[in-house]
């Protein structure tokens, strides 16, 4: 299996986030990618390719253009203001009339284009975000060219980013961009299967009223877990998209027996949709040792997950999302990909 990755993605580093009432080093660290690459190379999984450089045309089909422009300029604006550290928001628009007017100040814009204080900018952020975007488009093109599977080692991740907002360490929604690219390349139907511990709220919002991209999420129940507010089983899409969003919220402490049952049911929903391409938002923060998650999957379960996905028989693009037990993340990702290949 070909893996796509750029060292530019390591430039988003030494950033901080607000967590449990403290400003702490970001859990989404560059070391995650380094551990994953090391595991893949030791196992000789396949080639590691540099991504092709792409423009933002596909991303503009997913994200509001002024949001993308802000992402590219946020750090420069922060530096021109004479600031250091991590560029983070401290105020956000809420319900009601507030938030309908786009502010002009940097602090206003940081809140306007985000929904949390975990997704800040440092000097190398935009270059890393753009390289992550290029990585997923290169992966989508590899699958469109007839390869059975590819792994886009995206970092920063993407599934929490919505049409005009960042959050959950995510800036551009890589999985959504990949799905759109696959559609543009001739696939009539594409499924995004999100197996990250946290609900892929951005992906759901982007495709909620569309019938050409199915979004299936297995995740922690938002009544107790980030990103809260979205991801209930009752959310099934709207308008033309009604029935093409499927959610499987699960309680804290969920073990393999219950999680795998949900996955089997989810794959049944995918079969009913009959997609021509599959995008897997691959989060391994369902791992029992993850520091910010509360599911109980083990390494052997990730291998079984890959095998179950392979049984779909679909051209598949794996897109890296979460997983914050840094020293275990490489082996867990490798287990999924080896399980897929061996099946």
Alpha helices in 232-298, H assignment, sequence order: 256-273
Kind of pairing between the strands at 190-194 and 277-282: parallel
Give catalytic status of residue 219 as yes or no.
no
Q: Which residue has the tokens 């899409």?
A: 237
Instruction: Say what the pLDDT of residue 101 is.
Output: 86
From first to last of its 343 residues, what are the pLDDT tens digits of the chain?
Answer: 999 999 999 999 999 999 999 999 999 999 999 999 999 999 999 999 999 999 999 999 999 999 999 999 999 999 999 999 999 999 999 877 666 789 999 999 999 999 999 999 999 999 999 999 999 999 999 999 999 999 999 999 999 999 999 999 999 999 999 999 999 999 999 999 999 999 999 999 999 999 999 999 999 999 999 999 999 999 999 999 999 999 999 999 999 999 999 999 999 999 999 999 999 999 999 999 999 999 999 999 999 999 999 999 999 999 999 999 999 999 999 999 999 999 9
Instruction: Say what the pLDDT of residue 280 is.
Output: 99
Q: Which of 30, 133, 159, 160 is catalytic?
A: 160
* List of domains in the chain: 2-15+25-58+124-342 (3.40.800.20)
Instruction: Say what the pLDDT of residue 100 is.
Output: 75
Can you give the pTM of this predicted structure?
A: 0.97
Residue among 265, 280, 268 at smallest CA distance from 317 = 280
Instruction: Say what the pLDDT of residue 97 is.
Output: 66
- Give helix 326-342 / helix 299-310 axis angle, nearest 10°: 30
Rounded to a whole number, what is the distance in angstroms from the first to the last CA of the chain? 13
* 3: enclosing H helix or E strand: strand 2-4
CA dist 167 to 101, 274, 328, Å?
A: 20, 31, 24
């Amino acid at each position: 299996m070909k893996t796509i990755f750029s060292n530019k993605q390591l430039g988003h580093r030494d950033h901080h986030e607000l967590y449990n009432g403290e400003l702490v080093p970001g859990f989404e660290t560059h070391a995650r990618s380094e551990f994953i690459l090391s595991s893949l190379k030791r196992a000789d999984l396949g080639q590691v390719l540099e991504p092709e450089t792409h423009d933002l045309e596909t991303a503009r089909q997913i994200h509001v253009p002024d949001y993308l422009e802000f992402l590219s300029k946020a750090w420069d604006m922060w530096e021109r203001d004479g600031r250091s550290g991590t560029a983070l928001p401290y105020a956000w628009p809420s319900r009601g009339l507030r938030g309908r007017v786009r502010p002009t100040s940097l602090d206003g814009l940081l809140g306007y284009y985000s929904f949390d204080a975990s997704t800040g900018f440092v000097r190398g952020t935009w270059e890393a975000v753009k390289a992550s975007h290029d990585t997923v488009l290169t992966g989508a093109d590899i699958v469109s060219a007839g390869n059975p599977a590819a792994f886009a080692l995206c970092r920063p991740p993407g599934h929490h980013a919505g049409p005009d907002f960042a959050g959950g360490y995510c800036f551009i929604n890589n999985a959504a961009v990949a799905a759109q690219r696959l559609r543009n390349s001739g696939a009539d139907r594409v499924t995004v299967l999100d197996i990250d511990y946290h609900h892929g709220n951005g992906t759901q919002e982007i495709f909620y009223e569309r019938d050409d991209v199915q979004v299936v999420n297995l995740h922690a129940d938002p009544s107790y877990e980030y990103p809260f507010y979205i991801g209930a089983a009752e959310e099934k899409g709207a308008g033309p998209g009604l029935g093409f969003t499927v959610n499987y919220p699960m309680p804290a402490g969920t073990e393999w027996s219950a999680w795998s049952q949900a996955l089997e049911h989810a794959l049944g929903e995918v079969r009913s949709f009959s997609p021509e391409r599959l995008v897997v938002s691959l989060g391994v923060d369902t791992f029992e040792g993850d520091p910010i998650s509360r599911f109980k999957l083990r390494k052997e379960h990730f291998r079984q997950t890959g095998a179950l996905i392979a049984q779909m028989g679909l051209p598949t693009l794996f897109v890296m999302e979460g997983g914050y037990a840094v020293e275990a993340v490489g082996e867990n990702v490798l287990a999924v990909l080896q399980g897929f290949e061996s099946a």
